[in-house]
Amino acid sequence: MCGIYGFVAAAGDLGEPERVGQTLAAMDGSIFHRGPDDNGQYNDGRCAMGMRRLSIIDLGGGKQPISNESQRYWIVFNGEIYNYRALRQGLLARGHQFKTTSDTECIVHLFEERGEAVVDELSGMFGFAIWDRERHELLIARDRLGIKPMYYAPTPRGLVFGSELKSLICHPDVRRTISPEALSHYLSFGTTPSDQSILAGVRKLPPGHILRYRAGEMSVRRYWDLRTEERHVSEADAIAEVRSLVRGAVESHLVADVPVGAFLSGGVDSASVVGMMAELGARPKTFSIGFEEADFNELDYARIIAKKFGTDHHELVVRPDAWELTEKLVWFLDEPFADVSAIPTFLVSKLAAEHVKVVLSGDGGDEVFAGYDRYGWNAREERRFGWMPGPLRWALTQASAALPDRAPGKNFLRHIAQPAHLRYVDGESMFQQPMKQRLLGPELIRELVRRHADPMAPTDDRVALLDGAPGDLTKRLMYLDTMTYLPLDILTKVDRMTMAHSLEARPPLLDHTLVERVFGLSSSLKLTADGTQKAIFKKAVADLLPPEILSRPKRGFGVPIVKWFRGALKDPMQSVLGDKRFAERGWLDHDTVRSLVAEHLDGRRDHALPLWSLMTLELWARQFLDGAQVASTAPREVANG
């Protein structure tokens, strides 16, 4: 596990060597937290790239950048390749010579043979860059599900890339200018889009994509998608297959030259991962946190699993300084990010990092096995409202539009008038259309219109993804979440919060073979007619987990943010959202923001999550737009503070 960074020239050389070296040093320092064990750099005058290393495999010999035998191809790599031993054996048999026993070196040798098709051979999580010094061509690739991040920025003089936005803005050619489209998307969904960042001109390489860059010309293509045909198998066969796939994925994710622990929330996903680890002969260290508030404390369930499988269990009831913690999270998250569950993820990562370098997690189980309540809600809404003909939907839309703002029933009429896939997107929006219309500032609206973007519409391809997704409605919704919500929210949160503490998190339930095979099963095996979620998964692990774990209702990884905004975070939130700097940015209508604050504080409405999203947006702007030295902020002190 590492962080990578670099830049290549469109033509000629990179420029004055001292300035190139200074830029490399700044990029390296900005992501120290991703790899405090070692670093390395490559610079041939046309390409400069480097990495920070967290040593997991081949502790003494896996230094990067690393080349093939002829030194034509050079690689920097972030992630883990779980099938690297098998790949290595095949490469050795075909005459390749290795300098290390690392998984990184397997990629560069395999690239010699397969070119960009190397990605098809890799099982794991990855973001890597390979430089061909003869052709002056750069290849950048990201893993299928988007477990590991990758940013890039085309500039007039070349291309800049890296694992985190912080490293890119160290480069003098990368401007810190807000992207109106990405900001609009953030207000809708709490994240930036799949292929954009919050900064104009800086983009994310989407999951399952490859980028090639040569002589100023760039191409990006998708190499993997989850559109698989449905497989008709019996329930008994499906149960056996799921059990085998989960066990195999957990076993592959245990490969490491250091001890591997596990996050343990007490839910089915993390409990199953820990149970499989125990079944495979491991006695892992497990890590759980809770809050003093009973509604946000799941430690009792985690203890049941820890006791059953005899883990070396560590837990902590946290009483955080919410304001200090918020400022730290904003720095590590890189972009505005509205999911408040980043807080417990940060805290449990800090606890785990005191004991291990690697943890397995249960992330992905909800998307793969239909674990979200919203799948059931959407099915029920479709049964109630799906019958409506077009003219009736139009009439309800007009009736909603005619009602005054905040009138009872206005949002309900607008919501049910939409077809199923739009209802789903609308239901998952943080600021739905009427509120977003009031919230957007006139300057932002004008800029969006100038760019031919609809200020009220989502700016990513969610609706198109749903329209083109295979299968029934539930399968289409699962496909959408796997392709958007999972990488943009869940995996972004876990990557940034674990790496803040130099901790590697591995999600075995997102092994791509497991995901493909399970997605091909009928959605009725996952979400049953009686509303049982993760049905096939629960049956596959029924003999592994205690009944009270299998039958407990799903709970999110939450924090008492409502209480905090009326207590510890009340004054800071009012100070930030009432600050002149926030108003003068021109992004949002300040009167609307003030009304949200007032309604929340006097108890008329619960606006805790929207207010969190706005407060952290402004804190991000202060750190990343106003702070000239943000990329050089001492991450070691921030992480350990």
- Report the pLDDT averaged over residues 273-294: 90
d(CA 128, CA 322): 35
Q: In what order do the strands lie in the sheet with 504-506?
A: 312-318, 285-291, 260-263, 358-360, 504-506
Quickly list DSSP for 108-141.
HHHHHHHGGGGGGG--EEEEEEEEETTTTEEEEE
- Integer angstrom CA distances of residue 57 from 81, 95, 568: 10, 23, 43
- Flag whether 230 is in a domain: no
Compute how many other C-beta atoms are within 10 angstroms of the C-beta atom of residue 295: 10
Tens-place pLDDT, residues 209-254: 999 999 999 999 999 999 877 888 999 999 999 999 999 999 999 9
Q: Where are the alpha helices (DSSP H) in 148-298?
A: 165-168, 180-189, 235-252, 268-279
What was the pLDDT predicted at 1?
Answer: 65
* Two structure tokens written together for 355: 């004991």
pLDDT for residue 297: 67
Mean pLDDT of 292-310: 84
Judged against a pLDDT cut of 60, whether residue 153 lies above it is answered with yes
**Residue 250 and residue 197 share a domain:** no
Is 556 contained in some domain?
no
Going by pLDDT thresholds of 50, 70 and 90, the confidence category of residue 433 is confident
One domain for residues 252 and 125: no
CATH code of 83's domain: 3.60.20.10
Quick count: other Cβ atoms within 10 Å of Cβ 334? 25
CA 641, distance to chain mean position in Å, is: 24
Which band of pLDDT confidence, cut at 50, 70 and 90, is reported for residue 631?
Answer: very low
For residues 527 and 464, state if they share a domain. no
- Residue 633 in this model has a pLDDT that exceeds 80: no
**In the predicted structure, residue 634 carries a pLDDT above the cut 60:** no
Q: Are residues 401 and 498 in the same domain?
A: no
SS (H, E, C) 337-387: CCCCCHHHHHHHHHHHHCCCCEEECCCCHHHHHCCCHHHHHHHHHHHHHCC
The pLDDT assigned to 557 comes to: 59
Region 169-176 average pLDDT: 94
**52 and 153 share one domain:** yes
Strands 47-53 vs 38-43: parallel, antiparallel or unpaired: antiparallel
Report the alpha-carbon distance of residue 298 to residue 557 in Å, rounded.
9
Clarify whether residues 267 and 358 are in a common domain: yes
State the average pLDDT for the chain. Answer: 89
- Establish if 555 belongs to a structural domain: no
C-beta separation of 465 from 483 below 8 A: yes
- Specify the higher pLDDT residue, 558 or 484: 484
Beta partners for residue 395, in sequence order: none
How large is the C-alpha radius of gyration of the chain? Answer: 24
Residue 229 domain flag: no
Q: Point out the domain boundary residue: 449, 472, 495.
A: 472
pLDDT at 296: 65
Let me know if residue 567 belongs to a domain.
yes
Whether residue 45 is found in the same domain as residue 135: yes
Q: Which of 195, 222, 249 is the last residue of a domain?
A: 222
pLDDT higher than threshold 50 for residue 641? no
Residue 177: is its pLDDT beyond 70? yes
Same structural domain, 309 and 361: yes
| Residue 132 forms part of a structural domain | yes
| Confidence at residue 266, expressed as pLDDT on a 0 to 100 scale | 83
In a domain, residue 180? The reply is yes
Measured CA to CA, the distance from residue 269 to residue 370 in angstroms comes to 12
44 within a domain of the structure (yes/no)? yes
- For residue 178, the 8-state DSSP code is B
- Shared domain check, 104 and 241: no
Average pLDDT (432-456) is: 79
pLDDT higher at 40 or 445: 40
DSSP lists the bridge partners of residue 40 as 51
60 pLDDT above the threshold of 90 = no
Q: What is the pLDDT of residues 510-565, one digit of tens each?
A: 999 999 999 999 999 999 988 889 999 999 999 999 999 988 776 665 677 777 88
Residue 41 has pLDDT above 90, yes or no: yes
**Looking at residue 11, what DSSP letter applies?**
S
Q: What is the pLDDT of residue 431?
A: 83
Task: State percent of the chain over pLDDT 90.
Answer: 61
**DSSP helix/strand/coil, 19:** helix
Which pLDDT score, from 0 to 100, does residue 252 have?
A: 96
Give per-residue pLDDT as tens, 11-21.
Answer: 989 999 999 99
* C-alpha count within 13 angstroms, C-beta hemisphere, residue 378: 24
At residue 474, does pLDDT exceed 80?
yes
- The answer to whether residues 390 and 279 belong to one domain is no
At position 425, the amino acid (one-letter code) is V
In this prediction, residues 37-62 reach a mean pLDDT of 88
> What are the tokens at 417?
């008038």
Considering the domain architecture, whether residues 107 and 245 belong to the same structural domain is answered as: no
Question: Quick one: 249 and 382 in the same domain?
Answer: no
Report whether 453 contacts 429 (CB < 8 A).
Answer: no
Final residue of a domain: which of 516, 550, 584? 550
Q: Are strands 38-43 and 203-204 parallel, antiparallel or unpaired?
A: unpaired
CATH number at residue 285: 3.40.50.620
List, for residues 316-340, the tens digit of each pLDDT value: 887 777 788 888 999 999 999 999 9
**pLDDT at residue 294 in the model:** 62
What's the domain count of the chain?
4
Fill in the DSSP letter of residue 404.
P
The pLDDT confidence band at residue 486, using thresholds 50, 70 and 90, is very high
**What's the CA gap between 104 and 587, in Å, rounded?**
43
Boundaries of domain holding 419: 373-472
Q: CB count, 10 Å around CB of 564?
A: 21
Q: Give the model's pLDDT for residue 635.
A: 40
- pLDDT: is 92 or 460 the higher one? 92
> Using 50, 70 and 90 to split pLDDT, how confident is the model at 457?
low
